[in-house]
Amino acid sequence: MNELKTSRPTGRHWAALVLTSGVLALAACGDKAADQPTAAPQANTTPPVVAPQANTDQAAVDAKAKAEQMTSDAKTSTESAASSAGASMKQGAEDAKEGVKSAGSTVARVMDDAAITASISTGLAKDSDLSAVKIDVDTKNGDVVLKGPAPNAAAKERAEAIAKTVEGVKSVDNQLVIKTM
């Protein structure tokens, strides 16, 4: 048994149906106009029937124009984002440069403090009265603190004098305690 398959009309079917109906309607009107006497021309009140091909062509032109506009917008947006990213990267590089300079000065200051501490400890070790005792030398930003025992008042004063002669020392806090040995 053969069954007839039916399908729903597509947009082209509808367009063809409308076009055919319009042609038939115009043909029917044309016969009546030939039978009647000629009168003053009347304005055409029916909108012109546009061929489906023309609609498709116009839609393609519109789609192309819209795609070109969207491409242009995307390009502009991408260029703007790239420019902004470039500026951010440049600022980041400048910030990193400043950070390295700051870190470098911090390292130099710590190295200077370590050098000051080493120089003072070396000077104290050369003194016969101070080399036998354990004196802690702490340096921070050029400020020196001496802690520990001193065998006598003269040795305490010499320790402070040795510390003050080292280059880079800003101040000396002598906290040595005199203890007889």
152 falls within a domain: yes
pLDDT for the residue 177? 93
112 falls within a domain: yes
17 falls within a domain: no
145 falls within a domain: yes
Q: Which two tokens stand for residue 45?
A: 């009140």
Q: How many domains does the chain have?
A: 1
pLDDT for the residue 51? 55
Instruction: Using pLDDT thresholds of 50, 70 and 90, give the confidence band for residue 145.
Output: very high
Q: Which residue has the higher pLDDT, 139 or 5?
A: 139
124 falls within a domain: yes
4 falls within a domain: no
CATH of the domain at 138: 3.30.300
pLDDT for the residue 33? 45
14 falls within a domain: no
Give the mean pLDDT of 113-127. Answer: 88
DSSP states along 127-158: STTTTTS--EEEEETTEEEEEEEESSHHHHHH
Most confident residue range from 55-59, 122-126, 130-134: 122-126
pLDDT digits (tens, 9 = 90+) for 13-45: 666 666 666 666 666 555 444 455 555 555 556
Range of the domain at 93: 69-181
181 falls within a domain: yes
C-beta separation of 146 from 140 below 8 A? no
C-beta separation of 143 from 115 below 8 A? no
Of all residues in the chain, the percent with pLDDT exceeding 90 is: 18
Q: Say which DSSP state 36 is in.
A: S
Range of lowest pLDDT (109-113, 140-144, 164-168): 109-113
